[in-house]
Amino acid sequence: MLYDRAKIYVEGGRGGDGCVSFRREAHVPKGGPDGGDGGRGGDVVLVCEPSLRDLSAMRQGTHFRASRGGHGQGKRRHGARGEDSVVPVAPGTEVGGLHGERFDLTEPGQRAVVAHGGGGGHGNKRFASSTRQAPRFAERGVDGDSGWIELRLKLLADSGLVGLPNAGKSSLLARMTRAAPKVAEYPFTTVEPVLGTLEGEDRQLVLADIPGLIEGAAEGAGLGHEFLAHVERCGLLVHVIDVAGDDPAAAYETVRSELGAHDARLEALPELVVLSKRDLVPDEDVERAVGESRGRLGDAVVDVLAVSAATGAGIEELSAAIFAAASTQMSRTPASVPEFEAEHRTYRPAGVGGFAVERLDGGAFRVEGRGIELLVDRHDLSNAEALAYLEQRLREIGVLKALQDAGFEPGDEVRIGEEAFELHV
Ligand SMILES: Nc1nc2c(ncn2[C@@H]2O[C@H](COP(=O)(O)OP(=O)(O)OP(=O)(O)O)[C@@H](O)[C@H]2O)c(=O)[nH]1
Ligand SMILES: [Mg+2]
């Protein structure tokens, strides 16, 4: 089985808490605050690992959690950064991130941070000011990002073999590469993509043999639809048609329309038409079929060739044609040029950003806003000093003013995030 989809739960580490501590020295009676900051939580990072073939490793474990940041300590010692959770994925893995980003891991070693660790809390040292010389509170660390994300593997092949079932695709792959796909005289022998490497003089190309396509494949008929995504990254389609079949022209059209129905990008790929099993019909019929196809398809295709996997006739020419198409067309394929920088987002819960105040039934007030919620989350509201500090911050940010405008009076209940508390200001 080729596991080309996975769903995993990722969770960045929680930030370490800031520390409340005061300097103690033999000859200094009342030392100042010296509590260090908590460390950032670790990230969950996907890394493109070339030794992996598919996403089957994700079946063992679906939860990936990074470690939490270390807590701050006295003497201004900061907590250590939490350890990252590193998740190896096969080349060609596409990921939809927690915040709607997309990552595409194609190059070995390429990384994508899919869950950022939470920030560490500031130690009490940071809250010292001329009016608050001995702060007896510190911030707590915040939670990291978390949630389920979906992974989708799209094989990194340079060229894809497409065609109706039984057209002879696997026989060609077996003839041209070291791959040993199953070959048989019934349709749907190939049930999942098989990759083979085509050896050239100075380079190699990866050929993907995908299950046969039938009418309705794009809507789910047969098996091919499951795997059409795997040819999306190819730079060249090798369209295999049984020259001894009933109606080669109709076979061609059926496959073309399924490719187009799946994705217009597939339809737009350069295409090499290969008439297979040429040993089964007289040479003059083969020549006629090649001429007829060339006339009908013209410039729409790279070329039309006739081959036999059984005798080897035309195989060298086919290989040369694939390499030639590769050097002219594949230099700009998505397989070699990552569509997205995998690591394209930096996230820090820095500024408080916007907020909204709402009066609830019963007289309480709710303040909403990610930054404000984080601020409240960072503080222990049972600590009177922390609460006083929070009130001061809410005043500075303009939340108090907004509350008063909404009818707030000292002593009313205010709810922010999970917390509910009375404000006496
Ligand atoms: N005589 C002859 N028979 C061939 C040739 N190529 C393939 N065949 C036969 O055609 C049948 C189908 O070949 P496959 O390679 O399995 O075809 P496929 O396109 O991979 O088929 P699916 O995997 O079902 O989509 C098998 O019985 C092969 O032996 C050829 O060049 N000459
Ligand atoms: Mg096959």
Interval between CA 251 and ligand 2 midpoint (Å): 16
pLDDT at 254: 94
Residue 131, pLDDT above cutoff 90: no
Q: Which residues surround ligand 2, an ion (CB under 5 A)?
A: 170, 189-190
Average pLDDT over residues 111-123: 96
pLDDT at 348: 37
pLDDT at 133: 87
Ligand nearest to the CA of 167: 1
Ligand 1 lined by 212 (C-beta under 6 Å):
yes
Average pLDDT over residues 25-35: 79
User: Which H or E run includes 276?
Assistant: strand 271-276
Of 93, 117, 91, 100, nearest in space to 39 by CA: 117
Interval between CA 274 and ligand 1 midpoint (Å): 13
Q: Which residue has a Cα nearest atom 4 of ligand 1?
A: 277
Instruction: Give 41 or 213, the one with higher predicted confidence.
Output: 41
Lowest mean pLDDT among 213-217, 245-249, 379-383: 213-217
Q: Which residue has a Cα nearest atom 24 of ligand 1?
A: 188
**Tokens at 78, concatenated:** 């900061």
**Percent of the chain topping pLDDT 90:** 58
pLDDT at 28: 66
pLDDT at 118: 96
Q: How far is CA 255 from CA 77, 92, 192, 259, 325, in A?
A: 66, 25, 18, 6, 21
Cα 117 to Cα 12: distance, rounded to the nearest angstrom: 4
Would you place residue 232 in the very low, low, confident or very high pLDDT band (cuts 50, 70, 90)? confident
**Percent of the chain topping pLDDT 70:** 93
Ligand 1 lined by 280 (C-beta under 6 Å):
yes
Q: Which residue has a Cα nearest atom 27 of ligand 1?
A: 185
Average pLDDT over residues 180-206: 86
For 10, other C-beta atoms within 10 Å of its C-beta total 28
Ligand 1 lined by 164 (C-beta under 6 Å):
no
Would you place residue 316 in the very low, low, confident or very high pLDDT band (cuts 50, 70, 90)? very high
How far out from the chain centre does Cα 388 lie?
43
Cα 73 to Cα 19: distance, rounded to the nearest angstrom: 5
Ligand 1 lined by 47 (C-beta under 6 Å):
no
Ligand 1 lined by 188 (C-beta under 6 Å):
yes
Cα 66 to Cα 46: distance, rounded to the nearest angstrom: 12
Atom of ligand 1 nearest to the CA of 311: 31
Catalogue the E-assigned strands of 116-244. 146-153, 159-163, 194-199, 204-209, 236-242
Interval between CA 309 and ligand 1 midpoint (Å): 8
Ligand 1 lined by 243 (C-beta under 6 Å):
no
Residue 336, pLDDT above cutoff 50: no
Residue 423, pLDDT above cutoff 90: no
pLDDT at 334: 42
pLDDT at 343: 46
Average pLDDT over residues 100-106: 92
Atom of ligand 1 nearest to the CA of 278: 31
Ligand 1 lined by 177 (C-beta under 6 Å):
no
For a pocket test of ligand 1, which of 162, 169, 170, 171 has the largest count of ligand atoms closer than 8 A to its C-beta?
171
Interval between CA 184 and ligand 1 midpoint (Å): 6
Which residue reads 């950064």 in tokens?
A: 81
Ligand 1 lined by 279 (C-beta under 6 Å):
yes
Ligand 1 lined by 106 (C-beta under 6 Å):
no
pLDDT at 229: 83
Average pLDDT over residues 304-312: 97
Ligand 1 lined by 166 (C-beta under 6 Å):
yes
pLDDT tens-digit series, residues 42-96:
999 999 998 888 898 888 779 999 999 999 999 999 999 999 999 999 999 999 9
pLDDT at 340: 41
Cα 339 to Cα 104: distance, rounded to the nearest angstrom: 7
How far out from the chain centre does Cα 2 lie?
18
Average pLDDT over residues 305-331: 88
Interval between CA 203 and ligand 2 midpoint (Å): 25
For a pocket test of ligand 1, which of 161, 164, 166, 241 has the largest count of ligand atoms closer than 8 A to its C-beta?
166
Average pLDDT over residues 169-184: 93
Q: What is the DSSP string of 356-394?
A: EEEEPTTS-EEEE-HHHHHHHHTS-TTSHHHHHHHHHHH
Average pLDDT over residues 218-234: 78
Ligand 1 lined by 340 (C-beta under 6 Å):
no
- What is the average pLDDT score of the chain? 88
Cα 92 to Cα 153: distance, rounded to the nearest angstrom: 5
Cα 139 to Cα 78: distance, rounded to the nearest angstrom: 13
Residue 332, pLDDT above cutoff 60: no
